Structure 1
Amino acid sequence: MYYGDGTGVHACGKLFRKSVLIQHPYPIGKLYEETFATPKHVLAAEKIAMVTKATYNYYRRAGSITTSSFTAKQLDFFEAIEENEQSVIPLFPNHPQILKALQYRQAIYGIALLDKMYESHEYELYRRYRKEIGKLYRTVLFNKKGSRVDKIRYLLFLISPKLYNIVKNWYQKTN
């Protein structure tokens, strides 16, 4: 779920009993509300069934979280990761791979926020979170479940945000 693969933390493609959603509501006023709530929904579910057929089409619109410039509200992502670390990870002390998956999500998805911080000249915040994400290099680079593309993006960003942006912009133009 934390790797952003077919199951992801996004709410799309998931059905939960109303009682689960009432017990663990999506936080009001938070961005990345799925990252806060979906792991709790999954843990509270009595049964889980998966469908492998892709049924969701993502539409990028101007002003969405992914297309807007950086705002302090986007730091909710890191708060959601921290909350998962405090509430989900202790439930599985014998499964360190769950923590590694959460840290992988923090690093890979955090790059997009760091990129926005840098572009918005929020250099103090950028340095703070870049340092935290940089500490996760072993989790990212030696993670067998992580994609090669994610690892290259991560390395590029740690080496040079400017180089990362050059490659990112070139890639977006060619695809």
Structure 2
Amino acid sequence: MAPQTMKQTLISVVVPVYNVHSFLTKCVDSILIQSYKNLEIILVDDGSTDGSAEECDALQKKDDRIKVVHKQNGGLASARNAGINIAHGEYIGFIDSDDWIEPDMYESLLNTIFETKCRLAVCRMQYVYDNGNVKTRSKLDAAAPASTIFNFDQAITEMNSYRLFDMSACTKLFDISLFDNIRFPDGKLSEDFFVMPFLFELAKHIAFIDQPFYNYFQRVNSISKSKKINFDFEEAAKQQMDFLDAKYPELKVVGHAAYASSVLTVYNQFVENHMYCDSNTLKHFKTAVRENKKYIHDADFWSVMKKSQFTIFLASSWLYRISIRLYHTLRKA
């Protein structure tokens, strides 16, 4: 049998949909106009009540590549899993329904997979704010090749540094066999963080494209901006730390530093939402940072500014709150 060509390769794109009526068409249109045409687009309506469910059905009539699943509300992880379960593609990607992608994203990712023989490829993300500002992640050196291959150790370090990419599933294209025994954890936030270390381990090598193909829309009322404190992020970081300690002791610094960082990420939600953090929770956060000070110091993938956040936090939570609010104000400016 002749080997399959790139153009014969089907990509499944899973789009969880929940009450995003104002954003859904832009998202889906950005998939429909992809330069790579052999797509299966799976819209998973997760119990929407704002007309998004009906919009999914209308979009399905627009293009026969679109499939629609209607299900009871179960959260983002549950919706993604429903899409994985019916996907027919050799490769699979995920798009959040209030975001959009650049026209050549999937062609570039798949081409890189074919060229590098990797099972997973990732691109950069850019943040698009309500006020029109756009921020992108760091770039590789200008002299770097168009694509770079990271082994597991390098990829897990890069993911936890947040320099070029992070744990988001949306910037990645996966060989669907990577999901044979993996699903996103139902009922959890930070669902990507729970699974990405294991997907990276299975993939062994990850191809990176230094282009911002994914547009992550920062809106006030998104899930990540809700008043609910996401303690699941710390849980996912703890799971990663235990996993790396057990199987990859040479990555102990990465796992422990990332765990310490996760508690600051959770505390930052209290700060940004002007919510009270009780003394026991604050003590837990400070203990987690203090117990991992050595690993924070040894984390050469972090800048001096990043490390200084931990020092300020331990010295004065009041001063830390002021610095975080100032940082976020300047970042959005």
What band does the TM-score fall into relative to the shorter chain?
0.7 to 0.9
1:110 to 263, 271, 287: 263
CA contact (8 A) 1:117 1:125 kept: no
- In the TM superposition, what is the alpha-carbon distance from 1:124 to its structure 2 partner? 1.5
Contact 2:244 2:255 in 1 (8 A): no
Task: Quote how far apart the aligned CAs of 1:38 are.
Answer: 0.7
- TM-score of the superposed pair, with normalisation by structure 1: 0.83
Which residue in 1 is equivalent to 2:283? 127
Maintained 8 Å contact 2:171/2:214: yes
Alignment of 1:60-71 (within 5 A): 60-64=218-222, 66-71=224-229
1:80-120 deviation per Cα after TM superposition (whole angstroms, max 9, x unaligned): 12222333442223x1xx22112222222321312334732
Structure 1 match to 2:106: none
Gaps of 5+ in 1: none
Q: CA RMSD in A?
A: 2.2
What percentage of residue pairs aligned between the two structures are identical? 23
Higher Rg? 2
RCO greater where, 1 or 2, for CA within 8 Å and sep 6 or more?
Answer: 1
Aligned counterparts, 1:78-157, within 5 A: 78-93=234-249, 95=250, 98-117=251-270, 119-157=275-313
Cα distance in 2 between the residues matched to 1:46 and 1:137: 30
Unaligned runs of at least 5 residues, structure 2: 1-158
Following TM superposition, by how much is the alpha carbon of 1:128 offset from its aligned partner in structure 2, in angstroms?
Answer: 1.4
How far has the Cα of 1:32 moved from its partner? Answer: 0.9
Matches of 1:165 and 1:38 in 2, distance apart?
30
- The AA in structure 2 aligned to 1:103 is H
2: distance between equivalents of 1:3 and 1:25?
24
Tell me the TM-score normalised to structure 2 length. 0.46
The ranges of structure 1 where at least 4 consecutive aligned residues each deviate by more than 6 angstroms after the TM superposition are: none
Q: Which amino acid aligns with 2:170?
A: C
- Number of aligned pairs? 170
Q: Is the 8 A contact 1:117 1:123 kept in 2?
A: no
**Which structure: greater helix fraction?**
1
